């Protein structure tokens, strides 16, 4: 099952041990790690991502659920990005992109208090015991949530409602006096702009999901090829 994983530790040393443990589990075949990062919450409430140059198989994909979660965990004060991460943050992030519930984000945010450090990862796991056992032994508190399917329903409903408003205004405009026609046209133009923005956002979300899926396929193929070469 494809899951978002956040493991909160008391310090950076433990967090890096946790990240290495995840990579070991990936190497053993117990899980597949698609993306990972170490996020530090500083005493002043700011956050930063510290990560090696190898930013993970999906680490550089903007607009993915992983990148969006990193941005949200940075909090309203913004997020400082370490060199080589390639992640987009410090800007407005759509919660829908994360594909997890607000309650999960709330639980993690409450645990990730100042001076705490978290390992954030998108993983595939068939059962939870391997990760839980390793992380608990290091002193980490594990939070996980299965990723939901990408939902377009809300955006589709919004667009449909706005198109209905436009149709109504155009009907009124046909019967209105000149001064009223201009005001209605202004409102129609504003709604048209909003509709285009919604459609563009939906397109970007679909494209990001497609890139993420393709990257996962390639990662699994590479892993299978490496295992076959090792066995031969």
In the β-sheet with 141-146, what is the strand arrangement from edge to edge?
79-81, 47-50, 31-41, 117-125, 2-9, 141-146
| Cα–Cα distance list, 52 to 55, 59, 117, 162 (Å) | 6, 11, 16, 46
Q: Is the pLDDT of residue 189 over 50?
A: yes
Q: How far is the first Cα of the chain from the last one, in angstroms, to the nearest whole number?
A: 29
Tell me which H or E stretch contains 100.
none
Determine the pLDDT at residue 142: 92
* pLDDT band of 180, cuts 50, 70, 90: confident
Select the more confidently predicted residue: 158 or 142.
142
pLDDT in tens, 124-140: 888 888 999 999 999 99
Determine the pLDDT at residue 116: 95
Q: Is the pLDDT of residue 62 over 60?
A: no
Q: Is the pLDDT of residue 50 over 90?
A: no
User: What's the chain's Rg over C-alpha atoms?
Assistant: 22
Q: Is the pLDDT of residue 176 over 90?
A: no
How confident is the model over 38-59, as a mean pLDDT? 70
49: helix, coil or strand?
strand
Determine the pLDDT at residue 67: 77
Q: Is the pLDDT of residue 24 over 80?
A: yes
pTM of the model: 0.65
pLDDT in tens, 90-127: 344 555 566 677 778 888 989 999 999 999 998 888 88
Determine the pLDDT at residue 104: 81
* pLDDT band of 59, cuts 50, 70, 90: very low
């Amino acid at each position: 099952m494809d899951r978002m994983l956040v493991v909160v530790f008391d310090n950076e040393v433990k967090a890096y041990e946790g990240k290495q443990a995840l990579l070991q589990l990936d190497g053993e075949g117990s899980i597949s790690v698609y993306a990972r990062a170490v996020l530090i919450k500083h005493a002043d409430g700011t956050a930063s991502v510290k990560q090696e140059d190898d930013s993970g198989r999906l680490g550089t994909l903007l607009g993915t659920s992983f990148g969006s979660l990193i941005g949200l965990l940075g909090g309203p004060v913004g997020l400082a990005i370490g060199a080589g991460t390639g992640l987009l943050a410090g800007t407005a992030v759509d919660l829908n992109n994360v594909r997890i519930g607000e309650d999960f984000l709330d639980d993690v945010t409450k645990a990730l208090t100042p001076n705490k450090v978290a390992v954030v990862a998108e993983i595939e796991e068939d059962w939870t015991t391997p990760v839980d056992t390793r992380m608990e032994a290091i002193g980490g508190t594990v939070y996980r949530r299965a990723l939901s399917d990408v939902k377009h329903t809300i955006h589709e409903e919004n667009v449909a409602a706005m198109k209905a408003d436009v149709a109504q205004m155009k009907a009124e405009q046909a019967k209105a006096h000149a001064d009223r026609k201009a005001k209605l046209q202004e409102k129609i133009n504003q709604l048209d702009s909003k509709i285009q923005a919604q459609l563009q956002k939906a397109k970007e979300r679909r494209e990001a999901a497609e890139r993420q899926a393709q990257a996962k396929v390639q990662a699994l193929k590479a892993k299978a090829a490496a295992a076959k070469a090792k066995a031969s």
